[in-house]
Amino acid sequence: MNEGIKFPVMHPMMVPVDQISANGYNPNQMAQNERKLLERSISEDGFTQPIVCYYDKIKDIYLIVDGFHRYTVGKTKFKLSHLPVVLIEKEIENRMASTIRHNRARGVHQIDKLASIVLMLSNKGWSDKKISDHLGMETEEIMRLKQSTGLKEAFINHEFSKSWDVFEAKYYPNT
């Protein structure tokens, strides 16, 4: 049925953060807004993905293959003493390849589907700020996504500036 496929995800274990270590070769960097989104995700949803590690028996440490940013947030932001880890047993060159695969296999969002979700949240009464906070997006990006779904629907719950009222009262007082 599942011949040849391993399931390390079925064997998570809690490991002291002091025994977990970065691998020294991960080229992945995380932008500040993505880090804040990861922090929010862990805060609201918990740790839903374990950190993938290789156990170095000689040094008695768990070297991160995937999940460095989850590890960092768990250790520094939430001050966790233990983190969920799953193990893979591979030589260094295969661990490096695995790290790259994990980094690149994240997928991208389809704009039209993302725009539909933003519009649906807006129609449910979510403000642009709330959408921005929960999805980790800039408000300008939200506005562009809303515009791509149709202007009337996009701005139905938008709070507009009162500056136009002041302008009209000043320059068109009799209207």
Residues 20 and 72 in one domain: yes
Residues 70 and 125 in one domain: no
Position 70 pLDDT exceeds 90: yes
Query: Is 13 inside a domain boundary?
Result: yes
Band the pLDDT of 159: cuts 50, 70, 90.
Answer: low
Q: pLDDT tens digits, residue range 13-68? A: 999 999 999 988 777 788 888 899 999 999 999 999 999 999 999 999 999 999 99
Residues 72 and 16 in one domain: yes
Band the pLDDT of 107: cuts 50, 70, 90.
Answer: low
Query: Is 12 inside a domain boundary?
Result: yes
Please report the pLDDT score of residue 116 as a whole number. 82
Position 157 pLDDT exceeds 60: no
Position 128 pLDDT exceeds 70: yes
Query: Is 68 inside a domain boundary?
Result: yes
Residue ending a domain, among 62, 87, 104, is 104
Please give the average per-residue pLDDT across 62-85, as a whole number.
97
Domain that holds residue 23: 8-104
Residues 118 and 80 in one domain: no
The residue that leads in pLDDT, 155 or 87, is 87
Entry pTM: 0.71
CATH number, domain with residue 15 = 3.90.1530.10
Please report the pLDDT score of residue 115 as a whole number. 84
Q: Give me the number of domains the chain comprises.
A: 2
Mean pLDDT of the chain: 85
Residues 96 and 37 in one domain: yes
CB 87 within 8 A of CB 53: yes
Residue ending a domain, among 69, 84, 104, is 104
Query: Is 74 inside a domain boundary?
Result: yes
Residues 48 and 98 in one domain: yes
Residues 20 and 75 in one domain: yes
Q: Where do we find the tokens 């290789």?
A: 54
Residue partners of 121: CB distance under 8 A and separation at least 6: 130, 131, 134
Please give the average per-residue pLDDT across 125-152, as a whole number.
81
Residues 67 and 19 in one domain: yes
Position 162 pLDDT exceeds 70: no
Query: Is 165 inside a domain boundary?
Result: no
Query: Is 63 inside a domain boundary?
Result: yes
